[in-house]
Amino acid sequence: MRRLRQTKIVATIGPASGTDEMLERLFRAGTDVFRFNFSHGTHAEHAAQLQRVRALEERVGRPIGVLADLQGPKLRVGRFANGKVSLETGQAFRLDLSAEPGSAERVQLPHPEIFAALHPGARLLLDDGRLCLGVTACGADFADTQVVAGGTLSNNKGVNLPNVVLDVSPLTEKDRRDLEFALEIGISLIALSFVQRPEDVEEAMRLINGRAHLISKLEKPTAIDKLEEIVDLTDGVMVARGDLGVELPPEMVPAIQKRIIRTCRQAGKPVIVATQMLESMITAPTPTRAEASDVANAVYEGADGVMLSGETAVGQYPVEAVSMMDRIIRHSENDPAYPELLNAGQAKPRRTTADTITESASRASATLPAAAIVTFTISGVTALRASRRRPLVPILAFTPSLWIARNLAGAWGIHAVLAEMMDDHLDMDALAVKVATDENFAKGGDHLIITTGLPLHVLSPTNVMRLVQIQHEKT
């Protein structure tokens, strides 16, 4: 089941893709990580889906990543007496805490934390930015506004506050229950929504307590102000362009995406680009040319993965969407200009033994050239360090931990293999050669570059590199 690409694909499970047959078709089409969206579905439904994914994992003999995406706080207006109202640009409109049905003059905003953060001059975006309100006066339980951009506003539409830090945890009571459940059933990748500041990441890390890796979703402009600190604290990042695109002017989003990817690559943290990548394929069998370019740009920038949401969760063409994304990635990575563009965002190696070895392995893989870089890793760090260098050959990562193997499934260029750690480097070489040839990464005469940390069986930093040439089969 070797993938002929380095960039990974994350696909969201939903009504269109939740059967055994569809999960296998999505995997064989190219899915590396399945996303469980905890904004929808019951715990029982998620548990059943996880059983299906694990059964698929057994059938195909490959570690498959699973990502539990927590909902996070949902800021919404209340309900209207007639279901909706029309707001005219320039008119006055009040937001308050009263549960009375709304009208064209006012509506409930059941979030005291928003009123606490508002000030005259602040702006509120409603319904994914389709309407805009400017605050003229406010207090602890109300905000008087003027409609800056009008339109129809209906029940329970979302509220965004650009450049306003809310005194609210990214983990609601529902999220805390969902998080504990996800950890109990063995999901080892957790996506945290509504990250505003480093303290949000620290709170989630305390609750997870080493039981999973945390992916911080960057969807709030305030998080970008603390980007380096957040990346340093987290295990990975998702560029969640949905809310980010609502709260930022559209022209700023591409540059922010590039900055996030560059920062993650410098830190050696996996980064996923998400939202609206092939959105037209929810209802159409092919994407727009702009969407294809969007996916390709993320590949050229060196993102670890690209994600499908509604395309595979509720779309009419889920398998076709994964297949199309796979083809776009492979074509982009085969572009003669790809290595140069990829190297433009290359991180500088740190002055450590581990980075020296990894840098040497990456350079040697191009000089020989080698068929693959092989890492033996307990924690996954050696493999991620190799991935950070973005070598133009596959990375075979041998680990005794199925937990780590599943999480490495979403990292750039890594083909994770479950294997016991060995005491002798000759046994390690033999295993590397066997897997590399059996799974069509290499053939007789090819070289493998093997890195690991000694002594084995403990968490040692990467400190050894060996070159192994595969012998031709005797005839």
Q: Is 348 a catalytic residue?
A: no
User: Any bridge partners for residue 67, and if so which?
Assistant: 35, 189
Query: Distance between CA 398 and CA 417 in Å, rounded?
Result: 5
Per the listing, tokens 């569809």 go with: 22
42 is catalytic: no
User: How far are the Cα atoms of 74, 90, 135 from residue 156, in angstroms, in the given order?
Assistant: 10, 22, 20
Tokens found for residue 199: 């303290």
DSSP H/E element including 332: helix 318-333
Question: What's the gap between Cα 186 and its chain centre?
Answer: 18
Indicate the Cα dihedral angle 421, 433, 453, 405, nearest 10°.
Answer: -60
Q: Are 391 and 366 in contact (CB under 8 A)?
A: yes
Q: Could you confirm whether 8 is annotated as catalytic?
A: no
* Residue recorded with tokens 């080698």: 370
- Contact partners, residue 310, CB within 8 Å, separation at least 6: 12, 14, 279, 282
Helix, strand, coil tally for the chain in percent (to 5): 40, 25, 40
The catalytic residue among 5, 217, 220, 265 is 217
Query: Which whole-number Å values give the CA distances from 324 to 283, 296, 455, in the listed order?
Result: 14, 11, 44
Q: Give the residue among 242, 186, 174, 217 at the shortest CA–CA distance from 49.
A: 186
For residue 305, the Cα-to-chain-centroid distance in whole angstroms is 7
Residues whose CB is less than 8 angstroms from the CB of residue 167 and which lie 6 or more positions away in sequence, other chains included: 113, 116, 117
The residue type at 16: A
Tokens of 66: 């699973």
Q: CA–CA separation, 361 vs 277, rounded Å?
A: 34
Coil, helix or strand at residue 71:
coil
Using alpha carbons, select from 193, 90, 80, 209 the residue that is nearest to residue 149. Answer: 90
List 5, 8, 35, 94, catalytic entry: 35
The number of CA neighbours under 13 Å toward the Cβ of 167 is 6
Of the residues 52, 76, 84, 330, which is catalytic? Answer: 76
| From 7, 234, 263, 275, the catalytic residue | 275
**Beta-strand pair 271-274/236-240:** parallel
- How many of the other CB atoms lie within 10 Å of CB of 4? 12
Q: Which residues of 163-194 are buried (b: 16+ CB within 10 A; e: fewer)?
A: ebebebbbbbeebeebbeebbeeebbbbbbbb
Cβ atoms of residues 425 and 463 within 8 Å: no
452 part of the active site: no
Task: Match 């750039």 to its residue by tokens.
Answer: 412
Cβ count near 265 (within 10 Å): 24
Catalytic machinery residues: 35, 76, 217, 275
